Structure 1
């Protein structure tokens, strides 16, 4: 069975540098998303 969503947009996390894909919960503010996870978002002031 093939993956149903192979062409989702991706971004690079500003903190860890890892790529992350679009998620439904980010649908309305995808342009403002900068971090791949809550952990990276919280550590933004430490770097």
Structure 2
């Protein structure tokens, strides 16, 4: 898999990574890795 950094469009902080398959046989073709510190459980 190759990875691309995913940054917030508003504050530019690192949210995680997008992983994309570099080989046609790899499944899934892509998936997200989200940093746990960037996940909020606050309900408003």
TM-score bracket, shorter-length normalisation:
under 0.3
Please state which structure has a larger fraction of its residues in strand. Answer: 2
Q: Which has the larger radius of gyration?
A: 2
TM-score normalized by the length of structure 2: 0.26
Highest RCO, 1 vs 2 (Cα 8 Å, sep ≥ 6): 1
